[in-house]
Amino acid sequence: MRRFPAHPFSPVDDPEFDGDKLKEECGIFGVVGVNDAANFVALGLHALQHRGQEAGGIVAHDPQAGFNSARRFGYVRDNFTKAEVMKDLPGPLAIGHVRYSTAGSKGATAIRDVQPFFGEFSMGGAAIAHNGNLTNAAALRRELVERGSIFQSSSDSECIIHLMARSIQKTIAERIKDALRRVEGAFSIVAMTRTKLIGVRDPLGVRPLVLGRLGDNAWALSSETCALDIIGAEFVREIEPGEMVVIEDGKIISTRPFAPAASRFCLFEHVYFSRPDSIIGGQSVYETRRQIGVELAREAPVEADLVCPVPDSGTPAAIGYSFESGIPYGMGIIRNQYMGRTFIEPTEQIRNMGVRLKLNVNRALIKGKRVILVDDSVVRGTTSRKIKDMILDAGAAEVHFRIASPPTAWPCFYGVDTPERAKLLAATMTEDEMRDWIGVNSLKFISLDGLYRAAGEAAGRDPKAPKFCDACFSGDYPVAPSDKIEEGFQMKAAE
C-alpha cells in the first residue's frame, strides 16, 4: 500500500532499534459464517500486528444493520478490544486491515488512508483490504482523475475501488477481476460484499494469503497462518498465485482470472516479515530461519566463544548457527519487551539512547568473549554500529557479525518500506567496506544460493527462473516498477 505522489522513503535514520529494519506495510484478515465476525477479525489482526502497527480498520456487514466500519490509529489491542467499538460492528461477515505507514509517523497519515476501503455500487456495497503495492498506481490515478474519479485517500489501493466503479460487469466479484487485470505489481486482497468473502492473489503470488476453516461452514482468509491459530481455525491451504476465491453460504468457488505466470513469492517473508510460528509453502518459518543459520555457519565459519542473536528476529538463525558450528548459544543481548517508542521527550541525548532503551547487553555473559552476533539483515547499518559499541563496552574481546540474508542493495516496490537505494549500505559499499564502517572484526552475509537452500531449494537459485522474488538482494524485479522508472529509477543492467 503506497502513498502518493511517490513511494515514500524515510528521509532520516530512525535512532531507535526498529527504525533500521525493513517494514512490511500491511496485514489483512477476513471471516465469514460466524456470529460477531468482527470480533474474530480483531483477534486475527492482533496476531498480524507485526505486519502493520500504525493503524487498523474493520468493516462488517449485518443483514439488518448493513455495512459498518471502524478505523483507528494505534494498536489493535488499544482499539478493537473495546466493547463500545465492537458493538457497532455486528454481523456474520467482516474484513480487516493493519497498516504500517512508510512515512514513519502517525502524523503523516490521515484516517482516510486507513483501510479497508468501502464503495457503494449499483449492485450493493463492497469493502476491500489490500496488502502489497501497485507499481503502476500513479499512471492509473492520473487516468482515473482525468476521467472524473474523485480520490478520498493518498493510497494506491483506492485505485482498485475506482476501477471497480468504472467496470461494466454485473457482479462485485467480476468487477474486482476487471479492476485487478488493470493493475501491476503485488497484491493480496481480502474483499467482501453483503454475502461474500473474497480473496485474491496476484499472478506472481508475491504477498501471502491463506485459507482457514472454522467448523463446518465458516471460513477465514489471512495474511499468515498464525492468525488462523489465534481464532482456532484450521489451516486448509494457501490461496494460489493468480487465484480468486469467492466464499458464500459455506461454499468456495475458485477461479483463475489472470494469465498464468511463474510464482515469485517474497523471499524476505522467510527471512523476517512472517511470524516464526507461521507456515509458508508447507514449511515452518521458524525451521527455515534455523536452517538459514545452519547454511550461514557452513558458508562463513569463524573461531569464537559465543553465538548471540540480535533479538528477536535473529534468534532462530543464531540457534541454527550455534548447532552447526558447535559454538555455544547465549542470550548476550536482552530485549525490553515493554518498550514502545521513546517515552521521554526526545532530546538529542535521549535519541542517542534509543537502542539501549530496547536492548541491553548481558555483561556477565559477554565479557572477555569472542562474540558472533547473528541478525536478520543490514539495511542502513546504523543500528549494527550501535549494537557493536554496546557489545564492546560490555567487554567483548571480538565482535563478528553474521547476517541471515544477502546484502540488501535494492529497494522493494511490492509492499515493503525500503529506504531509497542511496541509503542502503550494501548499495554503496563492498562487504569489506561495510565491515570497516560498522567497526567489527568480521562481517559475512549468507549467499543468495544459501538462502534459497534454506528455503527448500536444494540446488540454490536458478538465475533463469528464480522461484522467489529476491529483488531487494539481486536487483531482478519480476514486475518493472513503471511509476518509479518514470520518476528516474535506474533498473539493474542485464547481465
Residues known to be catalytic: 26
Exposed/middle/buried for residue 236 (C-beta within 10 Å: 0-12, 13-18, 19+): middle
Please report, as a single letter, which amino acid is at residue 222.
S
Q: What's the grid cell of residue 9?
A: 522513503
Cis omega before residue 241 (within 30°)? no
Task: Please say whether the beta carbons of 40 and 31 come within 8 A.
Answer: yes
Task: Please say whether the beta carbons of 24 and 52 come within 8 A.
Answer: yes
Cell numbers 464503495: residue:
119
CB atoms within 10 A of CB 234: 12
Please report, as a single letter, which amino acid is at residue 454.
A
Of 254, 152, 244, nearest to 199 by C-alpha is 244
Angle at 442 (CA atoms; ends 436, 448), nearest 5 degrees: 100
Task: Please say whether the beta carbons of 107 and 121 come within 8 A.
Answer: no
Distances (CA, A) of 295 to 320, 374, 455: 8, 13, 11
Cis omega before residue 5 (within 30°)? yes
